[in-house]
Amino acid sequence: MSTMAAGQAQDFGPDMGLIAEQIGLIAHGIAFCTKRVAGDDVFRARMERMGDEVTALAQDFERYAHREIADYDQLAEAAECNDRKMVALRLELNLLQGNVNRLNDELAATGKLHESALRAAENTGTQLRAEIQSLTARYQNELTQANGRANRADEERRAALTQNAELVSKLHKELNAHVDSRKLLQRTTREKDVLQAALDVVYKEHDAINGFTSDKVWKGLKNPRLSFYMHTFNYPLKYPHDPRDIDTPRFVNNLHFHINIRTTYGVDLVTRLDEWGMVQYQTLDLFKGEIPADLFNALISAHHEIVAIRNPHMKRFFDWAHTFPLTNLPGLTDANRSLLKKELEVSNLAQLGCCFTSDLMRLKGVGEATARKWRALAYEQGAAWMKEHGVVELEKTMTGITAAALPAPLASRPTKPKIGRSKKHRKGKR
């Protein structure tokens, strides 16, 4: 144990030797008592057990004393280490104090230099303020003059803007008038183009009419003195059709003409065009067996060619129906086709479709049900064709004017140009 630890043990701890002597005396007393009561086994055993406990207590006290001495030694070593550190810190403090003294001396010298520079800067600032005041006075005078010139320029600019606004307004009025005139011209031009296209259609019709109804004459088959010729009227005839009547074909009601068969007897036969492109006219006993087949075929050709001008879709349907042989029509037997060909000269779909139910019922072995069935076969084929190619219009008037013959609509033509500044610039946005 160090000297410092021994001193602290003497000051703060009991004398361990004294404690050991006292415990020894207690042990001898217990041994003496044990001998004296040797005859009493219970008491002797109790005294022996007490002696053992006192001996164990003495050993615990000794171990405790040794441990305390070791702790005091550690504290002494820690105190000596702290003393060494304090000595080192005092040395560093002395060095820092020397540095501080040196820095104070340098700061004093720098302060003197700063005061000298500050006085020089104040002198320079005084000179500069004097020069600034002189320059300010001179520039103030120049600024006053420049403001005067700017005010005059601003007045001139306002006058120019006013004049420019008046000119722009006048230009707008002239442009609007020009645009209105151009729109009127475009509208007039379009109307003229439409009228010209309609006139072209009329000319085509007239040319077709003149080609078919010129001076050509057909002689009667029985009476050579009876002559027939075609005459065209440039107005239509309407033939209303009852939808409930399933035994007769409908007639075309959107034509712009109709053709009569005129005769040297002074009697006209009015012709009608049905939905299959076949020509029908009233039958008179006076002309029975007199009208040649060439005239009938010429009537059909004339109607078809004139119809093609305004309604080419109808003409395509007529051509298809007239070239559709009955041999391609399902539902008819060869005997049926032979009977139709022999008795009614029906060999194509158009001829079958234009037959009245009453006409078919005159055939041998054909009743009303069979006649309607045959007509229905033709109409089924016609409906299939129209489903694929489009419905044939029989009532609505057709102009015959194609889109290629018309000018572009007004909406696709350029609008009037924009003059002047936009709203964005008028609001001052950038």
The token pair at 246 is 């399933």
pLDDT at 357: 92
Q: Examine residue 45 and state whether it is found in any structural domain, yes or no.
A: yes
CA angle at residue 317 from 397 to 399, to 5 degrees? 20
Q: End of a domain among 303, 327, 348?
A: 303
Q: Is the pLDDT of residue 422 over 60?
A: no
Are 290 and 223 within 8 A, CB to CB?
yes
Q: Is the pLDDT of residue 420 over 50?
A: no
Q: What is the CATH number of the domain that holds 374?
A: 1.10.150.20
Q: End of a domain among 109, 127, 148?
A: 109
Instruction: Decide: residue 160, CB within 10 A, 0-12 exposed, 13-18 middle, 19+ buried.
Output: exposed
Same domain, 294 and 318: no
Q: What percent of the chain has pLDDT over 90?
A: 29
Q: Which residues pair with 258 in a beta bridge?
A: 233
pLDDT at 64: 80
Mean pLDDT in the chain? 82
Same domain, 293 and 317: no
Residue of 248 and 31 predicted with greater confidence: 248
pLDDT at 17: 67
Whole-angstrom distance, CA of residue 299 vs CA of residue 280: 10
The token pair at 219 is 């002689």
Same domain, 273 and 369: no
Q: End of a domain among 254, 279, 303?
A: 303
Same domain, 78 and 18: yes
Residue of 49 and 17 predicted with greater confidence: 49
DSSP E strands in 252-293: the ranges are 258-263, 269-273, 279-281
Q: Could you report the per-residue pLDDT of 68-123, keeping only the tens digit for each?
A: 788 888 888 888 888 888 888 888 888 888 888 888 888 888 888 888 888 888 88
Are 400 and 200 within 8 A, CB to CB?
no
Same domain, 228 and 287: yes
Q: Could you report the per-residue pLDDT of 238-261, keeping only the tens digit for each?
A: 887 766 567 889 999 988 888 999
The crossing angle, in degrees rounded to 10, of helices 312-322 and 293-310 is 140
pLDDT at 110: 87
Q: Which amino acid is at 274?
A: D
Q: Examine residue 180 and state whether it is found in any structural domain, yes or no.
A: no
Question: Percentage helix, strand, coil, to 5, in the chain?
Answer: 70, 5, 25
Residue of 212 and 125 predicted with greater confidence: 125
Question: What integer is the mean pLDDT of 383-396?
Answer: 92
Q: Examine residue 408 and state whether it is found in any structural domain, yes or no.
A: no
CA distances from 57 to 16, 17, 45, 87 (A): 13, 14, 18, 45
Same domain, 17 and 104: yes
Q: Examine residue 127 and state whether it is found in any structural domain, yes or no.
A: no
Q: Examine residue 189 and state whether it is found in any structural domain, yes or no.
A: no
Question: What integer is the mean pLDDT of 20-49?
Answer: 73
Tokens 């009245």 -> residue: 356
Question: What integer is the mean pLDDT of 212-221?
Answer: 79
Are 209 and 309 within 8 A, CB to CB?
no
Residue of 220 and 45 predicted with greater confidence: 220
pLDDT at 2: 46
Q: Which of 410, 411, 416 lies closest to 194, judged by CA?
A: 410
Counting every residue written for the chain, the total comes to 430
Q: What percent of the chain has pLDDT over 70?
A: 81
pLDDT at 285: 85
Same domain, 341 and 266: no
Q: Is the pLDDT of residue 198 over 70?
A: no
Are 367 and 361 within 8 A, CB to CB?
yes
CA dihedral 300, 303, 306, 308 (to 10 degrees): -70
Tokens 């031009």 -> residue: 189
Range of 319's domain?
312-392
Q: Which residues pair with 230 in a beta bridge?
A: 261
From 150-154, 203-207, 255-259, 381-385, the region with the lowest mean pLDDT: 203-207
Q: Please compute Rg for the chain using Cα positions.
A: 69
Tokens 């009955």 -> residue: 326
Q: For the residues of 63-91, what is the DSSP string, one character each?
A: HHHHHHHHHHHHHHHHHHHHHHHHHHHHH
Q: Is the pLDDT of residue 190 over 60?
A: yes
Same domain, 360 and 292: no
pTM: 0.51
Q: Examine residue 245 and state whether it is found in any structural domain, yes or no.
A: yes
Same domain, 249 and 222: yes
The domain total for the chain is 3
Q: Is the pLDDT of residue 5 over 50?
A: no
Q: Is the pLDDT of residue 412 over 70?
A: no
Strand 258-263 relative to strand 227-233, pairing: antiparallel
Q: Is the pLDDT of residue 29 over 80?
A: no
pLDDT at 428: 47
pLDDT at 33: 76
Residue of 223 and 11 predicted with greater confidence: 223
Residue of 360 and 71 predicted with greater confidence: 360
Q: Examine residue 181 and state whether it is found in any structural domain, yes or no.
A: no
Q: Which amino acid is at 277?
A: G
Same domain, 299 and 316: no
pLDDT at 430: 42
Instruction: Decide: residue 340, CB within 10 A, 0-12 exposed, 13-18 middle, 19+ buried.
Output: buried
Are 4 and 79 within 8 A, CB to CB?
yes
Are 348 and 319 within 8 A, CB to CB?
no
Confidence of residue 308 (pLDDT cuts 50, 70, 90): confident
